[in-house]
Every structure is written in C-alpha cells, then in structure tokens.
Amino acid sequence: MALVDPAKIRNVAMVGHRGAGKTSLVEAILHTCGVKNRLGSVADGTSTMDHDEDEIKRQMTISAGLAHVDWNKRRINLVDTPGEASFINEALGSLSVVEGALVVINAVNKVEVQTERVWKRAADLGVARLVAVNMMDRERADFVEAVQALRERFEGGVVPVVLPIGKEQGFNGVIDLVQMKAYVYGDTTGRGKEGPIPDDLRAEAEAAREKLIEAVAEADDALIEKYLEGEEITLEEALPALKTAVAAGLVFPAVPVCATKNIGTDRLLSVIEAALPSPARAGARTVPLADGSGEVQVEPDPAGPASLFVFKTISDQFSGRITLARIFSGTIASDSQLLNVRTGEKERTGNILSLQGKESKGIDGAAAGDIVALAKLKDTATGDTLTDPARAVRFPAYDFPPPAISFAITPKTKGEEDKVSNGLKRLSEEDPAMQFRMDPQTHEMIISGTSQVHVEVILDKLKRRFGVEVDLHPPRVPYRETIRKSAKAQGRHKKQTGGRGQFGDCWIEIEPLPTGSGFEFIDAIVGGAIPRGFIPAVEKGIVEAMERGVIAGYPVVDVRVKLYDGSYHTVDSSEMAFKIAGSLAFTKAMQNAAPVLLEPVMNVEVIAPEENMGDIMGDLSSRRGRPQGSESLGEMHVIRAQVPLAEMLSYAPQLRSMTGGRGSYTMEFDHYEEVPAHLADKIIEEAAARRKED
C-alpha cells in the first residue's frame, strides 16, 4: 500500500470569480505534469474537470471536482470549484479541507465580487493563499494593475514572485524572482525554456525581488536584521522564509499565467510546491470530541487514530453515491471500520478511489493529509465525520446559507409525485444548498436554491437522471390571519336524528396577542357549566378552526381564547359535539374581531456594484421595501432592506438584469405584519377562486 507522506502533499482549492479561468488552469496543470497529452477545454467537451452535461451546456463549473498531479516529488491535490454566485457554496465549503487556496483572477477584470467572498472565507479559516493572474494574453491585461488592485482590496501582502515577459498578445514568458531566471514558452507543453533575464527587464526584476525579500523577511527576525544591514539574502534562506510568511498569512505570492496557452504554469506549480504549507507543516487541528466532553488535537499522523471529514457527495446514476473526504489523521484501507458520528453507525470504507475528474482508479489505502473518494458508503452525507470509534471526534461542517429563491413544482405527468420527491431527495445528498419540502399549509412541493439558475440546473439533473419533468411556478405566499380587537361568541351544536342526539354549547372570548405570541387557551369554566372531560374537545375544535382561518383560509396566529361559559346535556353531549361547538364559536368570534391578513416580511441583503445602487434602491422601494442601511464593500455596495416576501418571488431575474449578473442577494424571514387593505382584498378574492376550483 503506497501511502503519500503528509509532508509531501499540497492540498489546493482553485477558487475565484466565474470566468477567471480556474478550470482551464487545472487543465494546463494536468497537461504540464503529463496527466493529459493535450490541453482540455470545456467548450469542446474535452475538459477533465467540467465533464457534466450541465457544465458543458452552460460553459461553467457547477460542482467541485478533484484531481491530482505529481510535481517535484510532491503530490498536489487540486479541488476545482465553481465561481458562479449560484454555486459558490461549493467553493466556500471546499476551503475547509485544504491548507492552501489558489485564487485565480482575470487580468482584465481583476478583483470581482466572488473573489472577495472566497478570500474572506480563506482568511477566516487560516488558509494560505497565492494568486494566479490569468488571461495575461488578453487585451488590456495588466499584471501590475491587477496586483495593485489586490493589494488595495486585501490590505497589502500580495507580492509578485514571478513577473511577466511581454504584454497582451505578446505575453510569452515569465521571470522567476526567487531564482532570478527567465522562462520563455514556445509551445503548450507548459515547460518554459530557461535563460537569463532580458536586459530591458533586469532593473524591474531586481526592484521587484527586493520588495519580495523585504516582505518575506518580515516573517523572520534573523532575515530582517540581515536585510536591514544590507547583506544579500540567498535562495536557500529566502525559500523557508517565503513558506513561513505565506503560512502566516503575511505574504500572498502572485504569478502571471495564461492557462489557454500554458504559459507560466510550471512556475506556478513550483510556487505551490515551495510556498504553500503541507498538512504536516500546518500541524494539528483542535477538534471537539463527538460526545461534547472536550477537545483534542488531531495530528496529521498516519499512525494515529483515523479521522475523515466528508466535504462533497456525488450521486452518480451509474456508480451510485461517491463520497469525497479529507483524511486528517490515521490511515484507511478498503476494510477499515469507521464510526459516522452523526448516525452513530459504523461504515466500512470499501472501495477507495483516486479521482481525476470523472475518471477514478482504485487504490489500496490512503493516509493523513490526503483527499480521496469512497464509493458506496451506506448513510454518509456531506458534512459528516468518519472516525476511529476509540477516539470519536467531530469536525465542524460548513453551514450553508438559507436559500434565496423558491418555486412550487408540479409533475408534468400526473401520478409522478413520488418519483419527483425521491429524485429530489437523492439530488439533495450531493447539493446541500438545495432544499426540498412539502409545504404543510399550501400542500405544494417546494424547491429552494441559491438562484433561479441553481434551481434550473437541479431540475435538468432530475430530468436526465430520473426521467421526470416538472413545471415551475411561484409558490403561494404563507399568509396568516389575526385579529385587531376582542369579541365574544357562542358556539352551539344541536342535532337530533332519533335516538341519541348531539349537543354541545360553549361561550368564548377572543382577544389579540402581541406579534409572535402564537395561541393561548384559557379554561375559565366554573361551576361545572361544561364537564372537565369536554373542555379539551372545545380547544381542539378551536385549533382546527384556526388552521382554516375565516378571511382567506390561512392559519390564525397571535390569539388568546378564553372559554368562560356553556351548557351540556347529560345524554346527548359528547367530545365530538363540543369540538364542533368550539369550532363554530371561534369562527363567529373571528368575524366580529376585526380580522386582518398578515404577510411574511424578509430581511434582504443585496450586494451589487456601486453604479447600480440607484436602480436597486428604486426597485426595492417599488416592492414596498424599507431601507435598513447600506455600506461599501470595496467596489461593491451592500444594501439592507425589509421587503414583503410576496414582492421578492420574482426578484432574482430582475436583479440579474439590473446588474449584468454581478449582483447577488440573500434573504431570511424576520416577522409578519398586516397586509395593506387594497392588496388584502385581492388576496382574499384569489383565495376564494382557488376554493371554488378545489
């Protein structure tokens, strides 16, 4: 069983905004390292990573993928992640299983909104970062401007370790500032021809190297002293200092590349190998014990107790469920027995796979520091921890933000509801950012996601993998009803059909409660006006009437009901009779208590370019939104507002149109409030029409 030494592993997440060329760069790395004999392309379907039909159709990465290469006797595991806002959670979640992030930016567009999100997530997790400035052959591509934009946005620390030779279409080589050598590329093998630095670039290279040495020396007291005394710092001294500075988050090396022409890829790989920390160098992680009794240090030791974290699940229609997991400690083999701390059940690791995109190869085992795929685990999902039962630990899972958009779905073919439900439940295993539920109030099947694009991709998979199609339509808003004043009413149910009859009689008083109080029932019966055994039946009848409402059929909330009088018949009274009486009393009382409709109001946060702020504010106002504040976020702006849910059902495409696809938003429920009268009348009419249809 050939295991890889944790000190010789580099785990790297490829992150950045959509269109920066992350997947193309992975293809260039695979080709440079001899894994592929040609450069793959998403456009022609030859990409190793973007192989899914939806990814080829939409020309973008949708799901995180795994590949690996060997470079300078080091194993580099690459996690290629989406940059599209709809799927950015895949990138944010993947950062928890790596020590390094390769932040890829477009040399023309520079720092974009999703770049900021992944950078912040990496910083929060203490993940070391280096930057690939891609597409250096494009018109208006400028490496110096790109680095300056990064420094301004992320408060310094971004330092070139490689300089470009040539600009735009003339970009054909790079200068390695650590080794002070030039590399010129004449083909797409990714291997530059080594030579001296061109004379016209010598002064620029020496000045840039001095800035690099100054930056890395700050992480090493001995080096900074030597530097201040004017002594030369050697390559042997610079490399360890660079590694220390990068791991400490003091320096973020920047490298210019062109993935589609495979220029600079070999230098980028050398920086990954030399600058990013290995699992061994990153050291132990403090992890809570599964039983909550304390914390332990999980060392990246192959000889220690095994512990794995599942960061991705793939539901393949042919291979079944494939689980991607990072091994944080210990060693696993095909017959290892591990405890799933969420389920409390043991899992046998079974087939251990090494992935290159969609291609897999069985391996005998794997050890601490590595990232592997496990096939056909019984009941293991994204976010689960698999651990040695003798030392059960639990790694914290990534908390996916609440979905931003929801749709009601109905099968195009009647009778396929179960097929739709089962298919979506399977798909939710590989995509925790998607939610599927049955609304208990509206009885609709609801699918929720980060955006309309996200939902459309899910339904494309549903059609392709499970053979069912659905229609999308806006979900019904979960309105509520309540009252604005007190009222009293009698509920009397009397029925005589020969023989034993039915009799129940009760008097109730209802009054409004503060928002969010729910329902309160008070038994104020004295003197046995209603026998004790029938009082729960009255309450049950009231509760059932509350579920139906009286205005438009929506549940009633925030009401106190006091049962204070009534009468009974010694023979004809029963629980059923008093249940009906309670329901009748509540319905009558509601009609006299100034009933009103309530609607859910959401806290909405919109992130968009500053130039779009006027349009966005105007649009939110037209949706009955109330501004709650705003702030700058670099080139982006954040607007916070409270907006009724009914006005947000079609917001996603409108925001995309206003911002050219650069805007994003999140929303979460805040409270219910009264619907304006002119809108309430319309809602009541629509509810009445639905009842007639039903």
pLDDT, tens digit, for every residue of 625-648?
999 998 887 667 889 999 998 898
Q: What is the mean pLDDT of residues 113-120?
A: 87
Residue 200 has pLDDT above 60, yes or no: yes
Can you tell me whether residue 115 is helix, strand or coil? helix
- The span from the CA of 143 to the CA of 105, in Å, is 11
Going from the C-alpha of 232 to that of each of 88, 96, 219, 277, 693, the distances in angstroms are 44, 38, 17, 26, 86
Task: Say yes or no to pLDDT of 404 above 90.
Answer: no
Torsion sign, CA atoms 108, 112, 114, 118: positive
The dihedral over CA atoms of 219, 222, 225, 227, expressed in degrees to the nearest 10, equals -70
Region of residue 307 (phi > 0: left; psi between -120 and 50: alpha; otherwise: beta): beta
Cα dihedral sign for 287, 291, 292, 296? Answer: negative
Q: Does position 41 have pLDDT exceeding 80, yes or no?
A: no
Residue 480 pLDDT greater than 80, yes or no: yes
Concatenate the DSSP letters of all residues of 100-113 into one string.
EEEEEEETTTBS-H
Give dist(CA 27, CA 25) in Å, integer: 5
Better-scored residue on pLDDT, 226 or 343: 343
Torsion of CA 312, 317, 318, 322, to 10 degrees: 10
Confidence (pLDDT) at 316: 67
| Interval 532-541 mean pLDDT | 95
Count the helices and strands in the chain (H runs, E runs): 17, 36
CB 373 within 8 A of CB 323: yes
Helix (H) / strand (E) containing 544:
helix 535-548
Cα separation, 49 vs 413, whole angstroms = 35
Question: Is the pLDDT at 394 greater than 90, yes or no?
Answer: yes
Q: What is the mean pLDDT of the chain?
A: 89
pLDDT of residue 374: 94
Say how far apart CA 420 and CA 468 lie, in whole Å: 7
Residue 479 structure tokens: 């309105």
Question: Which residue, among 232, 221, 112, 198, has the nearest Cα to 635 in the 3D structure?
Answer: 112
Q: What is the helix (H) or strand (E) element at residue 122, kind and residue range? A: helix 113-125
Domains of the chain: 9-282 (3.40.50.300), 285-391 (2.40.30.10), 405-473 (3.30.70.870), 481-593 (3.30.230.10), 598-679 (3.30.70.240)
| % residues pLDDT > 70 (the chain) | 97
- Report the distance separating Cα 168 and Cα 163, nearest Å: 14
Give the residue, 56 or 483, on which the prediction is more confident: 483
Write down the pTM of the prediction.
Answer: 0.77
Residue 310 reports pLDDT greater than 60: yes
* pLDDT for the residue 591: 94
pLDDT tier at 8, thresholds 50, 70, 90: very high
pLDDT at 653 > cutoff 70 = yes
Report the candidate in 432, 475, 488, 402 with the shortest Cα–Cα distance to residue 650. 475
Type of residue numbered 564: Y
What does the pLDDT read at residue 1? 44
Q: Which amino acid does the sequence have at 582?
A: G
Residue 230: pLDDT above 80?
A: no
Task: Report pLDDT for 242.
Answer: 87
Closest CA to 132 of 275, 265, 31: 265
